[in-house]
């Protein structure tokens, strides 16, 4: 929902919704805002609730009056040398174009846009840095089809999110591009796409350096068949059931370093298309591999090197 203020204002480059929210909040909660607080009550607790506040327009305009208009460049005064007087010809107004004479009157909505400033909060929210909680709240709306006011999912800023566990679990209709998400701080992806049966989007550029848990990440993601070989999985300890039932998946994983993984049980179980060489893998002595390849197309001629554990 766009923010319609009654007074036009130019904000400096780089201003976003959150910044504007805090500027108004600081002023509103100062002694200067005593009268306004008496009329409109406490300031909203978050930018997301600002638009629905009854005092939104009044307080915003009061803030703009307080802040004053943006500075303008000083006018340049040109001094001309005196010369002989020049006779002035009578002024004649320019002829109006036909389109101008017959232009219809502006409607109420258009008039509001002509006289006020429209701030597209959905666009500004693109830069909002999400948390574990706000990401899930926003995603719940997105997957339910309630997308009004939300920026495209591909632009969401997930740079501070640490928990992707079960994020799209059972979202059988989800197949949007999230390849540009910042995953550099994520530590768990457990069950992230479990039963997301139509999802098949590229993820190869994700940074998973801090991830330790990928258990059941693509379990029953039956359409998924995208490259993952660029992932640096050095810190992952649990890959149990990671591709269990991912029946379309058949991508190389030979560049993965799995030295720290302690659980690979059911990892490729019923991944019926999988038949890729894994001869470069080195497994820990205590790595669990129960039913690791059961029901897959993995051939015994492509062994996994393990120091003392049998591959089931």
DSSP secondary structure, 148-212, as one string: TTPPPGGG-B-TT--B-TTTTTT-TT-----TT---TT--B-TTTTTT-TT-----TT---TT--
Phi, psi of 281 (to 5 degrees): -70, 140
- Percent of the residues in the chain that have a pLDDT greater than 90, as a whole number: 54
Q: What does the alpha-carbon distance between residue 21 and residue 10 come to, in Å, rounded to a whole number?
A: 15
Q: Residue 296 pLDDT > 50, yes or no?
A: yes
What's the CA angle centered on 53, arms 50 and 56, to 5 degrees?
Answer: 75
State the virtual CA torsion across 112, 115, 116, 122 in degrees, nearest 10.
50
Q: Which of 17-21, 140-144, 290-294 has the weakest average pLDDT?
A: 17-21
243-257 pLDDT, tens digit each:
999 999 999 999 999
Are residues 206 and 183 in contact, defined by beta-carbon separation less than 8 angstroms? yes
- Nearest to 213, CA basis, from 243, 236, 183: 236
Q: What does the alpha-carbon distance between residue 278 and residue 256 come to, in Å, rounded to a whole number?
A: 9
Q: Which of 129-143, 229-243, 285-299 has the weakest average pLDDT?
A: 285-299
**Segment 152-174 mean pLDDT:** 98
Question: Is residue 304 very low, low, confident or very high in pLDDT (cuts 50, 70, 90)?
Answer: low
19-66 pLDDT, tens digit each:
777 888 887 778 777 777 777 778 787 777 777 777 777 777 777 777
The pLDDT value given to residue 308: 38
Q: Is the dihedral of CA 253, 259, 262, 265 positive or negative?
A: positive
Q: Residue 134 pLDDT > 60, yes or no?
A: yes
190-229 pLDDT, tens digit each:
999 999 999 999 999 999 999 999 999 999 999 999 999 9
The pLDDT value given to residue 310: 44
Q: Residue 12 pLDDT > 80, yes or no?
A: no
Q: Residue 265 pLDDT > 80, yes or no?
A: yes
90 vs 291, residue with greater confidence: 291
* Nearby residues of 200 by Cβ (< 8 Å), 6 or more positions away: 175, 223, 224, 225, 226, 248
123 vs 16, residue with greater confidence: 16
| pTM for the structure as a whole | 0.60
Q: What does the alpha-carbon distance between residue 268 and residue 204 come to, in Å, rounded to a whole number?
A: 19
Q: Which residue has the tokens 């002989």?
A: 84
3 state DSSP class of 44: coil
85-119 pLDDT, tens digit each:
555 666 666 665 555 555 555 554 554 555 555 55
């Amino acid at each position: 929902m766009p923010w319609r203020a009654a007074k036009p204002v130019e904000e400096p480059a780089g201003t976003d919704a959150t910044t504007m929210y805090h500027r108004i909040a600081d002023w509103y909660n100062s002694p200067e805002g005593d009268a306004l607080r008496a009329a409109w009550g406490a300031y909203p607790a978050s930018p997301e609730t600002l638009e629905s506040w009854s005092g939104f327009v009044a307080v915003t305009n009061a803030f703009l009056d307080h802040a004053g208009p943006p500075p303008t460049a000083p006018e340049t005064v040109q001094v001309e040398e005196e010369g002989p007087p020049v006779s002035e010809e009578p002024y004649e107004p320019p002829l109006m174009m036909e389109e101008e004479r017959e232009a219809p009157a502006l409607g109420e909505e258009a008039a509001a846009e002509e006289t006020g400033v429209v701030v597209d909060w959905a666009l500004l929210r693109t830069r909002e840095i999400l948390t574990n909680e706000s990401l899930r709240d926003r995603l719940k709306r997105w997957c339910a089809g309630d997308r009004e006011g939300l920026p495209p999912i591909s632009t969401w800023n997930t740079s501070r999110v640490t928990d992707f566990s079960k994020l799209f679990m059972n979202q059988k209709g989800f197949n949007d591009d999230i390849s540009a998400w910042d995953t550099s701080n994520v530590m768990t992806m457990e069950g992230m796409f479990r039963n997301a049966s139509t999802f098949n989007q590229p993820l190869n550029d994700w940074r998973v350096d801090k991830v330790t848990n990928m258990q059941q990440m693509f379990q029953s993601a039956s359409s998924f068949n995208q490259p993952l070989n660029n992932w640096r999985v050095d810190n992952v300890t649990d890959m149990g059931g990671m591709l269990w039932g991912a029946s379309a998946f058949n991508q190389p994983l030979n560049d993965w370093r799995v030295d720290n993984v302690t659980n690979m049980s059911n990892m490729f179980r019923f991944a019926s298309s999988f038949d890729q060489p894994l001869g470069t893998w080195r497994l820990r002595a205590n790595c669990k591999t129960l039913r690791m390849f059961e029901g897959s197309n993995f051939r015994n001629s492509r062994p996994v090197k393990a120091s003392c554990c049998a591959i089931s």
